């Protein structure tokens, strides 16, 4: 149902329900939530790749789960929605960078998963869509994450029409950042982004993620004090001091040396 593979310092979280196009249900949701919380707390994990086995990234909610929802009371629906929101929040607020490796289709809640990730990379043939209105429901739980990515104007169009659109349109509206021709190119670009992340300071990366959320929630005036406090805290940190010292002395910062050592140790026979 969910595969978590850690090859230090990279973790790969793979939805493994290929027969349902990786549609999620009340069993998969807590597994994904717990995986991201656990990986986010690990010092030996620097970046996480979220993907799906089979033909699709994620087709949204499982039909059998949706059938059971019909019988839910109002209170049960609220509790169910909160658990689902917790999964998206665990991804979005994970202190590790999260890359969405998208192929096949990312529909409904699957498109929401992409929005919750930091970097979205998709094959050009991927079909996206916020298709909930076609079923008489709403993309409510995913809306905070999607609107933060594409803005309310774009969200209004795609939420209302429920239409499917290809990766080129997803790129244009900001749902993803990169489009590639095929899956081999998808993996190459994912690896390229991982390499870039591993040259960056781990604590600074986590703080940069938090900075984006923090600034977005501030007024322009309030953001001045918020950002001043953020940079002062990071400049005076052990990592910040070590990074600036290495730069001035034309040396490798400690996190790169540590990554190189870890990668060498993890190879067979240290080769």
- pLDDT tens column, 195-235: 999 999 999 999 999 999 999 888 888 888 888 988 899 88
CB contact set of 147 (below 8 Å; sequence gap of 6+): 155
Which portions of the chain are predicted below pLDDT 50? 268, 270-271
Structure pTM?
A: 0.92
Residue 71 confidence (pLDDT): 83
Q: How far apart are CA 111 and CA 150, in angstroms?
A: 12
Residue 271 confidence (pLDDT): 46
Structure token digits, residue 9: 């310092």
Contact (CB, 8 A) for 132 and 173: no
Domains along the chain with CATH numbers? 2-197 (3.90.226.10), 200-270 (1.10.12.10)
Residue 104 confidence (pLDDT): 98
* E strands, the chain, in order: 2-7, 10-15, 47-52, 98-102, 105-107, 119-123, 127-129, 164-166, 178-180
């Amino acid at each position: 149902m969910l595969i978590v593979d850690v090859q230090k310092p990279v973790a790969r979280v793979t939805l493994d329900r290929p027969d349902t196009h990786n549609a999620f249900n009340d069993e998969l949701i807590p597994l994904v939530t717990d995986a991201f919380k656990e990986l986010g707390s690990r010092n030996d994990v620097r970046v996480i790749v979220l993907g799906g086995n089979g033909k699709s990234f994620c087709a949204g909610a499982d039909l059998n789960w949706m059938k059971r929802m019909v019988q839910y009371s109002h209170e049960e629906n609220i509790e169910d929605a909160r658990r689902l929101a917790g999964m998206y929040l665990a991804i979005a607020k994970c202190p590790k960078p999260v890359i969405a490796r998208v192929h096949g289709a990312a529909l409904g809640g699957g498109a929401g998963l992409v929005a919750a990730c930091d970097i979205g990379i998709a094959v050009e043939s991927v079909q996206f869509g916020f298709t909930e209105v076609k079923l008489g429901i709403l993309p409510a739980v995913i809306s905070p994450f999607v609107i933060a990515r594409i803005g309310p104007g774009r969200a209004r169009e795609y939420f209302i029409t429920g239409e499917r659109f290809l990766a080129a349109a997803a790129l244009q509206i900001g749902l993803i950042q990169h489009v590639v021709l095929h899956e081999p190119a998808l993996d190459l670009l994912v690896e390229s982004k991982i390499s870039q992340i591993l040259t960056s300071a781990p604590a600074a990366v986590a703080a940069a993620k938090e900075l984006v959320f923090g600034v977005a929630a501030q007024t322009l005036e309030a953001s001045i004090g918020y950002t001043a406090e953020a940079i002062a805290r990071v400049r005076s940190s052990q990592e910040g001091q070590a990074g600036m010292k290495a730069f001035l002395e034309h040396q490798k910062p400690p996190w790169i040396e540590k990554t190189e050592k870890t990668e060498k140790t993890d190879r067979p026979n240290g080769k």
